[in-house]
Amino acid sequence: MKTLNLEAGPTDERAPAGPAAPAPPRRKAPRNRTAWFLASVLALLLASALSICIGGQPSSLQEAWHALFTPTGNVMDVTIRELRWPRTVLGICAGICLGLAGTLVQGHTRNPVADPGLLGINQGAALAIVAAIAIAGDLPALAQALLAFAGALVASVLVFMIGSAARYGATPVTLVLAGAAVTALCSGLVAGIVLLNDQALDTLRFWQVGSLAGRTGVLQLVWPFIAAGVVLALLNIRALNALALGADTAVSLGISVLRARAVGIGAVTLLAGTAVTLAGPIAFAGLLVPHITRAITGPDYRWLVPVSPFTGATVVLLADTAGRLIARPGELSVAVVLAVVGAPFFIYLARRKRLQTL
């Protein structure tokens, strides 16, 4: 018969031997996002200095400072003030627009290979240009830029209207499908027009290259659209973080999904349309920049959105400067450099780094 050991307390009980419980996973150290933000600002300053100093005839930082702040009218002063400085400012603005627009498009469509061209913006701009030239003949560069902006606006608004007409409103799937449909329609119309009009074909070939050269006078007209797009992007940050958890979760957090999509697509329309107006269809920057920024800051849009403009401007300026170095004394288009250098880098990024979930 068993006897009870009345002297034994609770501490005398022993658990049966077995495998040890796994240790809880160690949390990764938080990213120093503030340091990365400052690094992105410094990188943009460095890229701006290179853009100003490098050209057909290189100049020193002292010469650049002299030309910008104490000019005397010599050849280098005129070159920097009249050519390189406006081109650098144009590249910064175009890069800011492309970086923000690409980040917003990928966030709203939940598609890691989305870019602003997914909403039909590039083809809408091309259609407006070739249609106007086929009707009115040759047009100055400023008129072509404004036509590109108008065509981009109309195409993106049409995409959002079609996507919102679905049963469940503007969802990532309906936006992508509507964008593909509008892009195909505009591409077909552009192809039909250029086959019948040689002048429109010549203009389209020049415009589709994408460049920061020869775009004087455009920035003064479109800067309010850049400011409005940046403000809308910043207002969209909270909604993007909520939408990353799913539409149902976003609704439970008090987010109006339709309003959030409208604000986001409005920002993309203004930013990408302005980028097309300033520099032509530099589409690859809108795809590449969000992934570079996400690898630095992580998926939190509170950091992703503020850092992406600096990353975009830096990437565009470095590509433009590289184009001047590679084909000296001529130059390669910034769009060509981004496609040649950026595509292998994007493949490397996709293979070596686990892409963050959108």
Asked if the structure places residue 264 within a domain, the reply is: yes
How many structural domains is the chain composed of? 1
Per-residue CA distances from 215 to 141, 144, 336 (Å): 7, 10, 18
Asked if the structure places residue 325 within a domain, the reply is: yes
Q: What is the pTM of this model?
A: 0.81
Residue 245 contacts by C-beta under 8 Å, 6 or more apart in sequence?
253
Distance between CA atoms of residues 125 and 285, nearest Å: 17
Residue 346, Cβ density class (10 Å: 0-12 exposed, 13-18 middle, ≥19 buried): middle
**158 neighbors 120 (Cβ within 8 angstroms):** yes
Asked if the structure places residue 39 within a domain, the reply is: no
Asked if the structure places residue 263 within a domain, the reply is: yes
Amino acid sitting at position 349: L
Asked if the structure places residue 216 within a domain, the reply is: yes
Helices (H) and strands (E) in the chain, counts: 15, 0
Alpha helices in 219-300 (DSSP H): 219-235, 237-243, 247-252, 257-279, 283-297
Asked if the structure places residue 55 within a domain, the reply is: no
Asked if the structure places residue 60 within a domain, the reply is: no
pLDDT in tens, the chain (358 residues): 444 444 444 444 444 444 444 444 444 434 587 888 899 999 999 999 999 998 878 888 888 888 888 888 888 888 888 888 999 999 999 999 999 999 998 888 887 877 887 788 888 888 888 888 888 877 777 787 788 888 888 888 888 888 877 676 667 788 888 888 998 998 899 888 888 888 888 777 777 777 777 666 778 888 888 999 999 999 999 999 888 888 788 888 888 888 888 898 889 888 988 888 888 788 688 888 998 898 888 888 999 999 999 999 999 999 999 888 887 777 888 888 888 887 787 777 667 655 544 5
Per the structure, the complete domain to which residue 144 belongs is given by 72-352
Asked if the structure places residue 170 within a domain, the reply is: yes
Q: b/e map of 263-287 (b: 16 or more CB within 10 Å)? A: bbbbbbbbbbbbbbbbbbbbbbbbb
**204 neighbors 142 (Cβ within 8 angstroms):** no
Q: Residue 111: give its domain's CATH number.
A: 1.10.3470.10
3-class DSSP assignment, residue 14: coil
